[in-house]
Amino acid sequence: MYIEKITVNYTRTINLGNYNQIKLSMMPTVHLDVDDDEADVLAAIWSMCRSNVEHAAQPIVGGYNVGDIHGITEEELFLGLPVETMEETNADQELD
């Protein structure tokens, strides 16, 4: 039997407290060549997924703190949020 592609789904759920949680996941699909060893490719995919999800989890586990200590910038914190949300948050910070 020849396997043409492998898809792996790696998910980590982090409890944020107060009945809140966040799920981080990665689901790559890799197309195999005839001479690829499926076990080696599968091990490499799992390793890649785990390291990427754990890297993404570091600032969350660290408490969303912005600055050099936790290695996350304000832009990374707001990555993916609408510009309006970023502007409102920046305005709130200026009032403090």
Do residue 59 and residue 15 come from a single domain? yes
Do residue 35 and residue 48 come from a single domain? yes
Closest-CA residue to 86 (of 68, 69, 73): 73
Do residue 46 and residue 69 come from a single domain? no
Do residue 25 and residue 54 come from a single domain? yes
Which pLDDT score is estimated for 88? 59
Which pLDDT score is estimated for 10? 93
> What domain range includes position 79?
65-96
* Strands 20-26, 29-31: pairing kind: unpaired
pTM (two decimals): 0.59
Do residue 12 and residue 53 come from a single domain? yes
Mean pLDDT by 10 residues, the chain (96 residues): 87 82 90 90 90 85 58 57 56 60
Which pLDDT score is estimated for 60? 78
DSSP β-bridge partners for residue 5: 31
Which pLDDT score is estimated for 94? 62
